[in-house]
Chains A and B, each alone.
Chain A
Amino acid sequence: MKSVKQFLLNSGEFFGDIGQQKDIVLSSRIRLARNLANHKFPNWANDAERDNIAEVAKSKLNGLKQLNGGVFFKISSLKDYEKLALCEHYMISKDLSLSGSWVACSVDQALSVMINEEDHLRIQVLRGGMGLKALWKIIGTIDDDLDGGDFAFDEKIGYLTACPTNIGTGMRASVMMHLPGLVINKQIQYTIDALNKVGVTVRGTLGEGTEAFGNIFQVSNQHTLGLSEQDIIVKIEHVAKTVMEHEEVARDQIFKSSKAFILDKICRAHGILRSCYRVGGAESFELLSLMRLASERGILPISYRNGIDRYMLEIQKGHLMVFSDDAAISEVRDVMRAKILRKFFSDIDISID
């Protein structure tokens, strides 16, 4: 496997479901921040030192069985749209795309390891649905396998990281949640504020500093020290279940008390997706969010939900540019996006009593 295009063509197991609840939780992710002792952190290291760190990190990763057959991408060798596509695919962060060194990804796209992001190593595992406990088992083993006794660790304050917000476990456990009910009911800000008060962060689709396109929010732990990894997982799963219950109540209320309003929104969205000639990225996210909601209310066949999730990734700017040279132009991209969505929805009918 050589190119980002070939890598993305293999949609892998990202949509595989190791959890029980995929209605509202689209995916689960755990990432660990690890650093090599006796090396400056990436932000403070010069180019030669960063190259040296990257070589040490790569030699560790070359021996990692979970990456067997995987691919390494050197960030400085990638085109901007390839980096964007990897961001959209949750394989790398925006920070890595701006100043990082390498990323190693497993073929099934369930594991990625970023080199010289904010920390020397950012190890990430990702799966569809709710499944943090299962992911912890996987990433815990990977962490042990990469551990050559040379990680920066202190008995009293744990794994040492470039930013004190990650110190300790170095762990961020997150779930990606689709919350159109709370957004339509205007309860989302109240929910976010309440979660913030209990040490839970809510971010946009692509993490820190990003917008929540398509009513998708990333819910993750704020603290990494003072809790064990299991504590963090239990906390996030508990919070996610509570938010899911609120979301379900909100959906029931909307379909009960504002039935005409919501069905009209869904029908119009379906109409646009079937008939539009061009559509922007943000608008298509909103439309697909309504289709996802409709599939979970029996208005569209549920079997199409995975397709909707897949197109939420593949109609984004970076993906379109990877798959077509013409997509560099915004207008062309909008037409291309509309064509893909028209085709997908052409044989999907709405069922309303």
Chain B
Amino acid sequence: MNCKCHFCGKPAAVHVTQVINDSMQNVYLCSNCAQKHGMFDPDSSHLSILKNISGALVSKMQAFSFSPILSCSKCGFSLADYKETGLVGCSACYLEMYDFMIKTIENLQKSTEYLGKVPSNMNYKSLNHNGKADLRESLEEALRVAIDEERYEDAARIRDRLRASFG
């Protein structure tokens, strides 16, 4: 690891990635600073370390953060397009840009809970959830695959959807 510790500038031994609201932040720490901030404390979660970091460092970290996911991988439609037209590009956009879309729907609709008719044709589950009969199972598998492939932005999005749907 060639990066330097964000706190003291010594060669980093620990790399922490945290994803919040589709934004990925990377922090590098030397072993001393990592210990100082609770990284090796068995009671401390790795993900909580960022809470201990000073405001000055947060802004430094933001320079490293990635842009949020802005487009649908199925059709190429972007949030910028949505903001221009008020329409989405395809049905997959709702899943691909789930956080943004669900907030938009919350503002426009009575609630985000579907209470309408159950389609007469029961093939929907397989069509819409990659062959999985259960949405939760489908999302959990997608989360596992995203983590395995180190696609942390996707993982965060899927995690948020799981939380929104199943608590």
Contact = CB atoms under 8 A, between A and B. Distances in A.
Interface of A: 35, 37-41, 43-44, 118, 140, 143-144, 147-160, 162-165, 167-169, 171, 199, 223-229, 231
A39 B90 contact: yes
B112 interface: yes
A226 B90 contact: no
Interface stretch (B5-13, B60-68, B116-124, B149-157): B116-124
A167 B165 CA distance: 17
Contacts of A153: 119, 124, 127-128
A164 B88 contact: yes
Interface string B102-142: 10110011111111110111111101100000010000000
A279 to B, nearest CB: 39
Given A44-B75, A148-B121, A225 B87 contact: no
B127 A226 contact: no
Contacts of B135: 155-156
B120 A229 contact: no
Given A37-B127, A40-B75, A164-B101, A152 B114 contact: no
Interface in B23-57: none
Interface string B84-98: 011111110011000
Nearest to B115: A228
Given A153-B128, A226-B109, A226-B110, 10 more contacts: A144-B120, A149-B122, A152-B91, A156-B165, A157-B112, A158-B116, A163-B88, A165-B108, A168-B116, A228-B115
A41 B112 contact: no
Contact of A118 (B87, B104, B105, B112): B87
A226 B94 contact: no
B115 A154 contact: no
A171 B116 contact: yes
Interface residues of B, number: 37
A234 B88 CA distance: 30
What are the 10 closest A-B residue pairs judged by CB atoms, nearest first? A226-B110, A149-B123, A226-B111, A152-B91, A44-B89, A158-B114, A149-B121, A169-B116, A160-B91, A225-B109
A44 B122 CA distance: 28
Given A40-B89, A44-B77, A164-B101, A156 B114 contact: yes
B95 to A, nearest CB: 8
A154 B124 CA distance: 8
Contacts of B165: 156
Nearest to B118: A155
B135 to A, nearest CB: 6
Contacts of A227: 110, 115-116
Contacts of A159: 116
A162 B88 contact: yes
Contacts of A171: 116
Contact of B105 (A152, A225, A229): A225
B65 to A, nearest CB: 28
Given A41-B90, A226-B109, A226-B112, A164 B121 contact: no
B125 to A, nearest CB: 7
Interface centre among B90, B114, B123, B135 (most CB of A within 10 A): B114
Contacts of B85: 43
B90 A155 contact: no
Nearest to B114: A158
Contacts of A156: 112-114, 135, 165
A148 B120 CA distance: 9
B120 A167 contact: no
B91 A155 contact: no
9 contacts: A43-B87, A44-B77, A44-B81, A156-B112, A157-B112, A167-B94, A168-B109, A169-B116, A225-B114
A157 B114 contact: yes
Contacts of A40: 75, 89-90
Contacts of A167: 94, 105, 109
A199 B110 contact: yes
A148 B89 CA distance: 22
Contact of B115 (A37, A140, A160, A231): A231
Given A147-B120, A226-B110, A231-B115, A154 B88 contact: no
Nearest to B75: A40
Contacts of B81: 44
